[in-house]
Structure 1
């Protein structure tokens, strides 16, 4: 298995806990995440690491000009009031782990995410590229979500 990672940051006019609340609910990512078709909660609970939600996700990423469907489990863990960890098992041997933190800086939230991609050598570049495209678009549009009345 090969690993790659990338980091994204954005600034949002909202409280850190509110931003993490929003991100924990994958149904709210539709329209922000370019590949997301649907997300359905299949389980939820609390363990020693914090409250978590298990999702069944349907995405339609691109391979050149073509789109294809992929369905996979995703687990969102609220690790603190201002942080979360997302774990996606996209296919056997192919995973993404995101660690997200929200910090109050100058009256706004600075949201940072580190994404770690693990996949076979032949797939890791493609998976990292697709994850970066999707997450960068989400991070670019996220501040606008909080500028609208909620």
Structure 2
């Protein structure tokens, strides 16, 4: 197995706990994450590390001009009011670990996610590229989810 890591950041006009609340609910990522078809909670709980939810996720990524469906488990762990950890087992031997931190900077949330992709060397580049593309798109659209207006969290 091999690993690659990438980091993403964005700034959002919302309180850090509200941003983490939003990110913890994978079903709210539909329309932001380009491959997400569905996400369903299958279990919840808490332990010494924090509260968690297990999800069953369906995505349709691309391989060239073709789309294919994958189903996989994901666990989202709320490690504090302003941080979370996500673990995804996309396929045997293929996983993503995300660590996300939100901090208040000049009245806005500075959000940083570090993603570590683990996979066999043969597919590591593809998996990392797909994860980076999907997460970068999500991060680029996320600030709009907190803009004041009808149909978004800040505008309700």
Alignment of 1:1-150 (within 5 A): 1-147=1-147, 148=149, 149-150=155-156
SS of structure 1 residue aligned to 2:32:
coil
User: Post-superposition, which runs of at least 4 consecutive aligned residues in structure 1 deviate over 6 A?
Assistant: none
Shift of residue 120, structure 1, vs aligned partner? 0.1
SS state of the match for residue 132, structure 1? Answer: helix
Partner Cα separation in structure 1 for residue 136 and residue 130 of structure 2? 10
Equivalent position SS for 1:116: strand
Deviations 1:69-102 (A, max 9, x none): 0000000000000000000000110000000000
For normalisation by structure 2, the TM-score amounts to 0.95
Tell me the matched-pair count. Answer: 150
SS at match of 1:46: strand
Kindly state the Cα deviation for residue 6 of structure 1 after the two structures are TM-superposed.
0.2
Alignment RMSD (CA, Å): 0.5
